[in-house]
Amino acid sequence: MNDVLSTYEPAVGAQMVAQLRQLGKVLQGARVVHVNSTRYGGGVAEILHKLIPIKQALGLDTSWEVINGDAAFYECTKSFHNALQGDRIDIPPTLLEHFEATNRRNADELRATLEDADFVFIHDPQPAPLLALCPDRRGKWIWRCHIDLSHPYRRVWRYVRRWVRDYDASVFSLPEFSQELPHPQYLIPPSIDPLSDKNMDLTAREVTETRERFGLDPEIPLLVQVSRFDRFKDPLGVIAAHKLIDKVAPTQLVLAGGEATDDPEGALVLEEVMEAAAGNDRVHVLMLPPDAHRTINALQRAADIVIQKSIKEGFGLTVAEAMWKGKPVIGGDTGGIRLQVVDHYTGFLVNTPEGAALRARYLLHRRDLLHEMGERARRHIWENFLITRHVRDYLSLMIGLRMNNQERIEVRT
C-alpha cells in the first residue's frame, strides 16, 4: 500500500518520503474528508485528484465529496469568487437564500460522513456553510481558501466570513490573503504532482505530434497560456501582447482552456476571445476536454515561453506546471504568481500587455538567458511546490490541530 509513495522517491528524494511516512504514522486510520464543488476543471480539483491517493497510501482513511448545485447556485458562487477577488458585486438576497438552501440539501446527503470524520477540509466558499449544518461534528474542520483574498469586496466577505469564522482553522496560500478570523490561520501554498500525466516527462516525439495535431509550426516561436476562460486570467491581454510581439517577428500563440463545471462565465469569455483572435492564423484558441492532461503537458513543453498574465491569481498551478518543464514564465504581478515567478530570475512579472510583449521579445532574442531562467524555474518548483511538500504541510497541520497546537509535539520514528 505504501508503493504509491515509493514511486515519488526518484523525483523528490528518499528523505521527503521518509518524513511523510513518519508523520503518516501518527495519523494512522484517521478519517479525513475533503469537500469542494467540482470534480473536474480548475486547480482545486487538479490538486485533490493527486492529494487523496497519497493520503490514502499513508494510511489515512481519506475521501473526497463534491457538492451539487444548479445554475443559480454556481452563478452565486462565481459572484463570491469574483467579489472576494475584489470586484464590487452585490449579490441579491434571493440568490444567497438559494445558496444556503443548496448547502442544506447537500448537508442532508453528507451529514453522516462529515460529522463522523476526524478532519474535514472544506475548499473555498461554495461548501462553507456545511460546518453550521453539521451540529454534531466530532472532528476538526479546516477552511481551505484557494482564492486571492487580499482585497475582497467587504460586503461579500462579511457574508462569507459568517460561515467561515467557526472553523477550527483556515489555510491560505499567501500571507497577504489571510483575514481577521477567530482561529489559527496556516499558510500552505499548493503544489503540482511531478508524476501525473500533466507533469511527467514526455518523449520528444509526443511533443512533436501534439504540435502537428494543432497545426503549429516548429520554426516559429511559441507562446502558451493554459487557463479557464476567465477574465481574471486576462486572455484578451495575452492576445494584445501577442499582437505586439508578432508585429516585430512572427510568433505563435496558443490559448488552451476548457470548462469547469462550476464556472458559468466561461462561454461568454470564450466568445470574446474568439472575436479578438479572429482572422489571425497564428493565434490558436483550443477548447480541450477535462482529461487532456497529456496534451497540456505537451503544449507546455512545446512552448518557448509560458504566459500566465492573470490580474488576480490565488496560486496559478499552470505557472508551476510550466516552470517544472524548464520554461520561464511571464506572469501577472499578482497573488500566487509572485510566489513562483522570481522576477528576472525564473521569469518576469508584468502588469500590462506592453510589459509582457517587451519581456517576451527580450527572451526570444536571448536564448541563452531563456534556458538559464528555465533551469532555475525548474529548481524553484522542485524545492518548493511539489505535492510531497504539500502533503507534509497538511499532515503537520492535522497533527498540530489534534494536539491542540501544543508548543512541542514529538513525532517518534
Binding site for ligand UDP (CB under 6 A): 42-43, 46, 198, 226-228, 256-258, 288, 296, 315-318, 321
Least gap, CB of 289 to ligand UDP (angstroms) = 8
Closest to ligand UDP by CB, 194 vs 258, is 258
Considering the complex, state which of residue 113 and residue 196 has its C-beta at the smaller distance from ligand UDP.
Answer: 196
Closer to ligand UDP at the Cβ: 337 or 370?
337
Listed residue (73, 50, 71, 52) closest to 61, CA to CA: 52
Q: Which is nearer to ligand UDP, 46 or 246 (CB)?
A: 46
Q: Provide the minimum distance between the beta carbon of 52 and ligand UDP in the complex, in angstroms, as a whole number.
A: 16
Q: How far is the CB of 18 from ligand UDP (least distance, A)?
A: 28
> Is residue 86 within 8 Å of 312, Cβ to Cβ?
yes
Residue closer to ligand UDP by CB (options 335, 355) is 335
CB of 234 to ligand UDP, least distance (A): 12
Q: Which is nearer to ligand UDP, 79 or 318 (CB)?
A: 318
CB of 308 to ligand UDP, least distance (A): 7
**333 touches 310 (CB < 8 A):** no
Considering the complex, state which of residue 223 and residue 226 has its C-beta at the smaller distance from ligand UDP.
Answer: 226
Minimal distance, residue 395 CB to ligand UDP, in Å: 22
The residue among 17 and 47 lying less far from ligand UDP, judged by its C-beta, is 47
Residue found under cell 497577504 = 176
In the complex, least distance from residue 322 CB atom to ligand UDP, rounded to whole angstroms: 9
What count of other Cβ atoms lies within 10 Å of the Cβ of residue 217?
12
Minimum gap (Å) between residue 206 Cβ and ligand UDP: 17
